[in-house]
Copies of this chain bind each other. A is one copy, B any other.
Amino acid sequence: MTDRKKRRPSNGKAGTLVIIGGHEDHDGDRVILKEVASLVPNGRLVLATIASHEPDGYLEKYQKSFGELGIKEVVELYVNDRLEAAHEKKISALANVSAVFFSGGDQLRITSQIGDTPIDERVHEIYEAGGIIAGTSAGASVMSDTMMVKGPNAASFRIGHIRMAPGLGLLPNVIIDQHFAERGRIGRLIGAVSQNPRVLGIGIDEDTAIVVNGEMFKVIGSGAVYLVDAAGVTHSNIAEGEPDAALSIHDLRVHVLSSGDAFDLAMRRPVGVP
């Protein structure tokens, strides 16, 4: 729907992405929501609940949490179907806004409803103009060019048991998985990066987030972030194996980061270690 020629490439990165592994704390020290709130420039934030089939209650929950953190205006953006994503009323919700927060649900609902619509275009504009785009759970997965849609949770990964789809493309050359430790997802993240080691795997635990500025990110929250780098892989059976075969892959490099750690996405290296 949008004019692709007009869309600036995402690697013009000027804003901030806050990519959250789901279940960010709302009742305790709220480290992640505080960080988001600190990045919202004018006390206005759009809560995009598009990922959810039943978004009731999301707005109230985030209004309460963000309200207590100084965000006076939290406005919901929801679309019932793809045509609505081009309605002037929906698009105008994103006028004079520099912060969008994608809540959880089904990542495929986000991309299928708003992908390549004026809303999608406006989200990129906000980001490229220096705003903040945050997302939790499904809202985290959509950040990448190619996103994880389905794969085994807490089960042996099998070559054919993964489904990926085009994401919103805000952060190139990565694939993001969320609820990472909680749902036992290391196998499917390795399975994803094995398909093309160009993408770096980023697995984010619940109540944990990465805050991305340009090529750098820092880790905040209570859990860990797993980086899976397949650039040095010497063997895998991903192309030849049967769909039900277990994956075989050699020489992955893995980093586990926690709060206070930083990472250089261009160099694919942790940074700032004392």
Q: Does A255 contact B (CB under 8 A)?
A: yes
CA–CA, A187 and B183, complex, Å? 12
Decide: A246 near B224, CB < 8 A? Known: A181-B154, A187-B181, A254-B252.
yes
Interface string of A237-252 (1 = CB under 8 A from B): 1000000011111111
| Residue numbers in B under 8 Å from A270 (CB-CB) | 235, 250
**Which of A34-42, A93-101, A118-126, A257-265 is the interface stretch?**
A257-265
Q: Is the CB of B251 within 8 A of A252?
A: no
Q: Is the CB of A252 within 8 A of B256?
A: yes
Interface string of A87-125 (1 = CB under 8 A from B): 000000000000000000000000000000000000000
CA–CA, A153 and B183, complex, Å? 10
| Residue numbers in B under 8 Å from A157 (CB-CB) | 181, 224
CA–CA, A208 and B270, complex, Å? 34
Question: Number of A residues whose C-beta is below 8 Å from B?
Answer: 43
Q: Is the CB of A256 within 8 A of B251?
A: no
Decide: A258 near B253, CB < 8 A? Known: A181-B155, A206-B156, A222-B156.
no
| CB proximity of A44 to chain B, nearest CB, Å | 33
Q: Does A182 contact B (CB under 8 A)?
A: yes
CA–CA, A258 and B194, complex, Å? 15
| Residue numbers in B under 8 Å from A261 (CB-CB) | 248
Which residues of A, 181-209, contact B by the 8 Å Cβ criterion?
A: 181-187, 190, 205-206, 208
Q: Does A273 contact B (CB under 8 A)?
A: yes
| Residue numbers in B under 8 Å from A250 (CB-CB) | 255-256, 270, 273
Q: Is the CB of A253 within 8 A of B255?
A: no
| Residue numbers in B under 8 Å from A187 (CB-CB) | 181, 224, 256
Decide: A181 near B181, CB < 8 A? Known: A156-B205, A258-B246, A273-B235.
no
Q: Does A223 contact B (CB under 8 A)?
A: yes
Chain B residue at smallest Cβ distance from A179: B154
| Residue numbers in B under 8 Å from A154 (CB-CB) | 154, 181-184
| Residue numbers in B under 8 Å from A223 (CB-CB) | 156, 246
Residues of A in contact with B (beta carbons under 8 Å apart) = 152, 154-157, 181-187, 190, 205-206, 208, 222-224, 226, 228, 234-235, 237, 245-261, 270, 273
